[in-house]
Amino acid sequence: MLWRVLTRSKTTDHHRWGYLVFLLAAAPPVVTWGSASRWGHWDSWAWYTPLMYFVLIPLADLVVGTDTLNPAAQDVPRLERSWYFAALPLLCVPLQIGLMLWGAHVFATAPFGPLGALGWVVSMGCLGGVLGINVAHELIHKPTRAEQWGGGLLLASVLYGSFKIEHIYGHHVDVATPRDNSTAYRGEHVYHFIGRALRHNVPRAFELERRHTLRRGGRWRWWRSEVSLWFACSAVFCALCVWIAGGWLGAVYFAGQAFIAVCLLEIINYVEHYGLMRRQLPDGRYERVDPKHSWNSDFLVTNMFLFHLQRHSDHHAHAARRYQLLRHFDESPQLPFGYAAAVVVALCPPLWRRLMDPRVDRHMEPLRRQPIQPAAG
- For residue 301, the one-letter residue type is V
Residue 98: partners with Cβ closer than 8 Å, 6 or more residues away: none
pTM of the model: 0.92
Rg (CA), the chain: 21
Q: Give the dihedral sign, CA 132/270/289/169.
A: positive
Query: Tens of pLDDT along the chain (377 residues)?
Result: 444 444 444 444 557 788 998 888 899 999 999 999 999 999 999 999 999 999 999 999 999 999 988 988 888 999 999 999 999 999 999 999 999 999 999 999 999 999 999 999 999 999 999 999 999 999 999 999 999 999 999 999 999 999 999 999 999 999 999 999 999 999 999 999 999 999 999 999 999 998 888 887 777 777 778 999 999 999 999 999 999 999 999 999 999 999 999 999 999 999 999 999 998 888 888 988 888 889 999 999 999 999 999 999 899 988 889 999 999 998 899 999 999 999 999 999 999 999 999 999 999 887 666 666 665 44
